[in-house]
Amino acid sequence: MKKIVSSVLVASLAATSLAACGGSSTPKETAAATTAAAAAETKAQEEKATEAATEAAGGDAVTLKWALWDASSITYYQPLIDAYKADHPNVNIEMVDLGSTDYSTVLGTQLSGSGSDFDVVTIKDVPGYMTLVNKGVLEPLNDKIKEAGIDLQQYGGITDQVTINDNLYELPFRSDIWVLYYNKDVFDKAGVDYPTNDMTWEQYDELARKVTDTTPGSEVYGAHYHTWRSTIQLDGILDGKNTIVGGNYDFTKPYYEMVLKQQQDGVCMDYATLKTQGLHYSDAFAQGNVAMMNMGSWFISTLINKIKSGEYTDCTNWGMVKYPHAEGVEAGSTLATITALALPTTAPHKDEAWDFIKFVTGEKGAQVLADTGNIPAMTNDSIVSAIASMEGFPQDETSKEALVTTHTYLEMPANDKSSEIETVLNEQHDLIMTESSTIDEAVQAMNEGVQAIIG
């Protein structure tokens, strides 16, 4: 018996020490081995032909591994790669799709230890970014940015919100803002004027109630809120006085009161039903009985494509306006979400990878994004008008104007504890909207919960 126990222990300890040293010892050998393996693999694949071609051209062929999600449905990856390769024929870029739903989990696991062979990683959200920064697996970019002479002002101040201890670990290439979508047909039918680019929340609420029809069987919903907490909770930070990581959430109360009242009056769909049923916001809007919906600008290309393909028939006449604002605040303040690129400390080809990151996050990359109907992080007037002139984009002036912002606030600013804070806020949001807690109770719980986390 003892013998077996000890032999088990020996075996497992051997495994332990093998795995444990992954954390600290020099990874050169393994890194070399894995790159060799990776190179062999890619060679085995289709790239063989291109690689041979580039070798013939005289350059040292390099293959960059790029971690991303939804490779088959996001339209700008391949154009970005093609545009880059046009100038850099000796660089191959291999997309590694880690899936959208579990992206942060998989990326975090892949970058654990020291054996990762990713050259460029896409950062999906701020909690995911914070995780990787805390783990110390992302290369600080300050020196590189200075050296390359990149002007961070081009990103409209958004990079300040992801700067951690004076250092930047990612560069954004895509930036989505939140707007208010509306279905013109619904307003026409109800004989109500369209929403405008300059509405207060009170005016918005009034308008939503005006177009609402609660007749069973032919309901029209004046407003629609997806189940995310951002659709309600974050309306409160747009006055610039409050932050979502501050530990006091009293400012969310009026917004919860407004939406909860709407929910009870049948102005918007019931949160509980939406949550369990998993109705996607795009399908809710497509059903043609939703008058207004607050959502990110990523929804533009979904709308355009699905209307074009003939799947959406009841919301073909859509428009959009700027986000409503609090009394006394300038119109044009809105929420933003950025998608960024970062350089892992373990990247096998750091210089080439940095060059690619500069390209994607720079002016040329921004052009490619705009051409495919997405809003690049580096925005200027010509890019906005390029998007607005896209086929299928609403032709009225108001909708074009809606994309111009004055202030943008990140959905979640960079904070050491962002994922823990998010858990607390999500839970209480859920309790308010299912009417399991009162607003006062839940806000109290948010305050206490978050204060306990940030100390």
Name which of residues 292 to 321 contact other proteins (CB under 8 A). Answer: 298-299, 302, 311-312
Please check whether residue 359 is in contact with residue 374, taking contact to mean a CB–CB distance below 8 angstroms. Answer: no
Please tell me what DSSP assigns to residue 76: S
Please check whether residue 173 is in contact with residue 361, taking contact to mean a CB–CB distance below 8 angstroms. Answer: yes
Nearer to other proteins, 325 or 429 (CB): 429
- For 137, phi then psi, to 5°, come to -105, 5
Cα separation of 303 and 307, whole Å?
6
348-369 core/surface letters (b: 16 or more CB in 10 A; e: else): bbeebbbbbbbbbbbebbbbbb
**Using the rule CB under 8 A, which residue among 24, 153, 165, 218 binds other proteins?**
24
Residue 311 burial (10 A CB sphere; 0-12, 13-18, 19+): exposed
Q: Binding pattern to other proteins, positions 76-115, x when CB under 8 A?
A: --------------------xxxxxxx-xxx-xxxxxx-x
Nearer to other proteins, 124 or 144 (CB): 124
Please list every residue from 229 through 248 that binds other proteins, using CB under 8 A. 229
Nearer to other proteins, 234 or 331 (CB): 234
Alpha-carbon distance values, 368 to 75, 334, 374 (Å):
10, 24, 9
**Using the rule CB under 8 A, which residue among 15, 32, 57, 148 binds other proteins?**
15
**Using the rule CB under 8 A, which residue among 62, 64, 137, 446 binds other proteins?**
137
Contact partners, residue 414, CB within 8 Å, separation at least 6: 126, 129, 130, 133, 161, 162, 163, 164
Please list every residue from 328 through 367 that binds other proteins, using CB under 8 A. none
**Using the rule CB under 8 A, which residue among 35, 39, 71, 194 binds other proteins?**
71
Task: Name the minimum Å distance from CB 138 to other proteins.
Answer: 10
Please list every residue from 145 through 204 that binds other proteins, using CB under 8 A. none
Residue range at the interface with other proteins (CB under 8 A); choices 132-140, 233-241, 258-266, 395-403: 132-140
The residue with tokens 């533009």 is 300
Nearer to other proteins, 158 or 274 (CB): 274
**Using the rule CB under 8 A, which residue among 43, 135, 189, 261 binds other proteins?**
135
Which neighbouring-strand residues pair with 319? 182
Task: Name the minimum Å distance from CB 408 to other proteins.
Answer: 19
CB neighbours of residue 144 within 10 Å: 18
Alpha-carbon distance values, 94 to 237, 349, 358, 442 (Å):
39, 13, 17, 47
Cα separation of 4 and 46, whole Å?
50
131 contributes a contact to other proteins by CB under 8 A: yes
Q: Binding pattern to other proteins, positions 39-68, x when CB under 8 A?
A: --x---x-----------------------
Rg of the chain over Cα atoms, rounded to whole angstroms, equals 25
Nearer to other proteins, 150 or 341 (CB): 341
Nearer to other proteins, 100 or 395 (CB): 100
Count of residues near other proteins by CB under 8 A:
88
**Using the rule CB under 8 A, which residue among 8, 32, 52, 454 binds other proteins?**
8
**Using the rule CB under 8 A, which residue among 78, 90, 154, 287 binds other proteins?**
287
Please list every residue from 262 through 281 that binds other proteins, using CB under 8 A. 270-280
Helix axes 48-57, 28-44, angle to 10 degrees: 110
